[in-house]
């Protein structure tokens, strides 16, 4: 737990230290896939996840760092993150991350997963999300404008429906490896390693 808290503090401090206000992306840019790693990496993991999902939080804090170290940072694997919000609050948080500049997307994910127990159970979750966004360089007025952008909200909902239709996604997190192998739930690192080690050269 102590190690996790220290890691969270470092990530949050770094995230906030580089933050500066920037214009939000347009709808097309906001809905584009967010890729962690080399876009040309030979193996692809598609992750369907919800920001209010505890199992998704566990994956991002406990499992993903190992996958990142051994496969993503080495250029062997890329991870495409696709939002799959299960509730209204998850959708609101998703809108906030998509409203931020693409280069800050995964920084927002890290902070939101690390602080999930706080903002997702807050009596004023919108206020907490707005404060997180502001510290990350997202103007509250831009966040509010994004929430009112029906094309963005509809696009996010459609992407969830696309995941359900194409890959039969009905739980989070769900992972699709190279389009033909599915892992459901925050499974141990060894389960991912077993599949990935056979697909990378």
Query: 14: pLDDT confidence band, cut at 50, 70 and 90?
Result: very low
pLDDT, tens only, 37-71: 999 999 999 999 999 999 999 999 999 999 999 99
Handedness of CA 114, 33, 31, 85 (dihedral sign): negative
- Domain count along the chain: 1
Angle at 59 between CA 30 and CA 195, to 5 degrees: 100
pLDDT at 24: 64
What is the maximal distance between C-alpha atoms in the chain? Answer: 49
By DSSP bridging, strand 43-49 and strand 77-83 are: parallel
Q: What is the pTM of this model?
A: 0.86
Contacts of residue 140, defined as CB under 8 A and 6 or more positions apart, other chains included, come to 130, 133, 134
Residue 174: both structure tokens together: 């769900």
DSSP string, 140-195: HHHHHHHHT-HHHHHHHHHHHHHHHHHH---SSSEEEETTTEEEESS--HHHHHHH
Residue 200: both structure tokens together: 């990378």
Domain that holds residue 169: 2-19+27-199
- State the CATH number of the domain containing residue 40: 3.40.30.10
pLDDT, tens only, 175-199: 999 999 999 999 999 999 999 999 9
């Amino acid at each position: 737990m102590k190690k996790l808290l220290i890691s969270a503090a470092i990530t949050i401090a770094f995230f906030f230290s580089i933050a500066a206000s920037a214009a939000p992306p347009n709808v097309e840019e906001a809905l584009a896939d967010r890729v962690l790693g080399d876009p040309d990496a030979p193996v692809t993991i598609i992750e369907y996840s919800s920001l209010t999902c505890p199992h998704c939080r566990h994956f991002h804090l406990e499992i993903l760092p190992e996958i990142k170290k051994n496969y993503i940072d080495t250029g062997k694997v890329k991870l495409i993150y696709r939002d799959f919000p299960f509730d209204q609050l998850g959708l609101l948080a998703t809108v906030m991350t998509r409203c931020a500049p693409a280069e800050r997307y995964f920084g927002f994910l890290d902070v939101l997963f690390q602080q999930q127990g706080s903002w997702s159970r807050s009596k004023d979750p919108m206020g907490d999300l707005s404060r997180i966004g502001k510290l990350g360089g997202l103007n509250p007025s831009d966040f509010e404008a994004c929430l009112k952008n029906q094309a963005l909200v509809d696009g996010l909902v459609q992407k969830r429906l696309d995941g359900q239709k194409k890959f039969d996604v009905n739980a989070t997190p769900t992972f699709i490896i190279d389009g033909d192998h599915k892992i459901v739930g925050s499974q141990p690192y060894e389960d991912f390693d077993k599949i990935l080690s056979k697909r990378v050269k």
